[in-house]
Structure 1
Amino acid sequence: MQDVSQLRSLLARRAHLGAQGTTIYRAAHTTETGGSFTLDLAGDAGILSLYASLRPEEERALAAACGEAAGLGAVYLKRRPVEARHEANVAREWLSPPEPVWGAARAEVTALEGGVPFVIRPGADLSTGLFTDARPARAYVRDTAPARVLNTFAYTCGFGLMARLGGAEVVKNVDLSRKVLAWGQENYALSALSAPETDFLYGDVFEWLVRLRKRQEPFDLVILDPPSFARGRSGVWRSEKDYARLSALAASVTAPGGRVLALLNHAGVSEAALERMVAAGLAQAGRAGRLDRHLAAGEDYPGARHLKVQVWTLD
């Protein structure tokens, strides 16, 4: 287990991020902690994720070390056993205690990514408001945003927000949760961006893709950021089996010359496998396309291989 001096050494490697206007990032990754834990910072709050079983006193000691090393006001605990996705609905408070394990409680904090503010709720759930490993992909969207963008599996609308800040005229955010779409609207408001309710589409992504295809509403960029596993009205989603079907639907609403940004957070699926699935989906939709670019997790994820990000351009 890392001591305070070791944690401070890791934090020093990320010190330049703050100078770049980023106060939400991974301070310690599993490749730096022997796979036992990660530490994410969001403003003055820390999110300590455990991948190994510790006794309660060990959890508190590690949280204290993290808080002291980073000069935090609070550290929240997330327990992430292998079976966490199955336990999330029956052991939610054990997996993600709503109160900090160290320090004083704060219901939410405002943290910055490249100067852009986001609402983070460190004690709300296993997911606290922003997936920090996708920061380079969000920067790419902001830097290259075209006129019309469709952001699927939008969560708190980070990609949609970056597209609007990048100059996109129309951005549609789709998610199955009204709660996270409302959270996304809060993020928009923090950047003084107004958007009609029709830019936040509640419902099943697959159903919305079919609906948008029927409306003949093409987009210049379609962002796919699905979970690795989920249950919805369309049935059970498993990314390793179903990504081709998703990319086919995405292709059906992508304008000629438009792009598909395909993300997948799944350590068990290789870059090559994702490429094959996206290509198969394009073929199913009768579209030709090429893989133009690979992106990866940020520098605060050294050695990480879980996240795949591919930029496809369609003819």
Structure 2
Amino acid sequence: MLLPDLPVLLARRAHLPDEGTTVFRVAHTTETAGQFAVDLVGDAAVLSLYVDVTAEEEGQLVDAVGHLPGVAGAYLKRRPVEARHAANVAREWLSPPDPVWGEARPEVTALEGGVPFLLRPGADLSIGLFPDARPLRAWVREHAPVGGRVLNTFAYTCGFGLNASLGGAEGVKNVDLSRKVLAWGQQNYALSGLAAPNTDFLYGDVFEWLRRLTRRGDTFDLVILDPPSFARGKSGMWRAERDYAGLVALAARVVEPGGQLLAVTNHAGVSPRSFEGMGGTGLDQAGRRGAVTQRLGAGEDYPGAAHLKALVWALD
């Protein structure tokens, strides 16, 4: 088991807390031979294992993570390749709800660029925010249409929608299939002192909502697509590498002329060229014309990461 000098890696990210970010990656898999990753979440740490290790090796890692400066409690996530299939049957093994070191931190309020988020280190494999997408949320905050409308699909805990509101957008709709995460998103809005009426949090299938909005003639200045790599729905299995073009086509129909589409994927198996090609195909299917104006990726604390890809499309 490769055990890098975690305090040295943490020191490389020391500027992030100074810049108002207290949820970030301390050690990425490219720095640990793909074996594990470490995230700091306020005063909690999260150790993610990507390979099988012995009990002794796991204990050594937990101890090293727990003794990082400022860590009060450490949580463990096991992320084998088959984790996505086991998540519903082995949840407590994959993501033990109690800390494996130190004090319990069931809820932590951590900052990203000065924006507070309510995070739950022991709740699930996902803690309430995907830190790798920090540059994307920053882009949304900087480029939100002031006084305009934004549609945030696959919203999860509404990080994109929150940043759009903070950036000056007046009408932001967050869509997700989980009422639980939408309610969590409303808590995030409240932390920033923003109004969070229920009408801004749309429960239901994103694909059905996009069709419904199209029928209404409802359009937005910015539409954000951040789907999972795969998902089960009423119509079967959706896979990003196969179906993303169709999603872009649905979304393009609700983008205001002159508006923008932010398309995101975290599928490591989709190349940047293929991703851009699917976007172009989707626009063609929708009868829209557009051009890529920006290409975005993971934050600096994910060195060498190629899984996260984001394209900003400007539509005619």
TM-score range, shorter chain: over 0.9
For the residue of structure 1 that corresponds to 2:110, the secondary structure is strand
Matches within 5 A, 1:1-315: 1=1, 3=3, 6-146=5-145, 147-315=148-316
In the aligned structure 1, how far is the partner of 2:235 from the partner of 2:263? 20
Q: Work out the CA distance in 2 between the residues paired with 1:108 and 1:289.
A: 42
Structure 1: tracts of 5 or more residues without a match: none
TM-score by length of 2: 0.98
CA deviations on 1:14-42 (whole Å, 9 max, x unpaired) are: 00000000000011000111110000111
Q: Distance in 1 between matches of 2:20 and 2:2?
A: 27
Secondary structure of the residue aligned to 1:217 is coil
Q: Distance in 2 between matches of 1:35 and 1:68?
A: 22
- Structure 2 CA distance for aligned equivalents of residues 218 and 59 of structure 1: 51
Q: Distance in 1 between matches of 2:196 and 2:99?
A: 34
Residues of 2 paired with 1:82 and 1:45: CA distance?
A: 25
Counterpart of 2:44, as a letter, is A
Instruction: Report deviation, 1:203.
Output: 0.4
Q: RMSD over aligned Cα, in angstroms?
A: 1.0
Instruction: Tell me the TM-score normalised to structure 1 length.
Output: 0.98
How many Å separate the matches in 2 of 1:55 and 1:183?
A: 36
What is the CA distance between 1:53 and its match in structure 2?
A: 0.7
CA distance in 2, matches of 1:60, 1:30: 19
Q: CA deviation at 1:111?
A: 0.2
- What's the secondary structure of 1:69's corresponding residue? coil
Equivalent position SS for 1:70: coil
1:235 is displaced (CA, Å) by: 2.3
Percentage of pairs with the same residue: 70
Q: 1:2: how far off?
A: 5.2
Deviations along 1:93-122, one digit per CA (max 9) or x if unpaired, are: 110011111111121100000000000100
Distance 1:42 1:122 in 2: 7
Q: How many residues align?
A: 314
1:122-159 CA distances to partner (integer Å, 9 max, x unpaired)? 00000000000100000000001011000000000000
Structure 2: how far apart are the matches of 1:70 and 1:10?
12
2:291 is aligned with what amino acid? R
Aligned residues of 1:206 and 1:234 also touching (Cα < 8 A)? no
**Segments ≥4 residues shifted beyond 6 Å:** none
Tell me, yes or no, if the aligned pair for 2:23 and 2:41 is still in contact at 8 Å: yes
Query: Which has the higher mean CA deviation after the structures are superposed, 224-233 or 65-74?
Result: 65-74
Once the two structures are TM-superposed, the CA of residue 232 in structure 1 deviates from its matched residue by: 1.8
Distance 2:273 2:80 in 1: 28
Q: Distance in 1 between matches of 2:63 and 2:213?
A: 50
Contact kept? 1:204, 1:234, Cα under 8 Å: no
Counterparts of 1:269 and 1:191, CA distance in 2: 35
Supply the distance in 2 between the matched residues of 1:195 and 1:187 (Cα, whole angstroms): 9
Q: Which amino acid aligns with 2:202?
A: L
Contact 1:230–1:238 (CA under 8 A) maintained in structure 2: yes
Contact 2:295/2:311 (8 A) holds in 1: yes
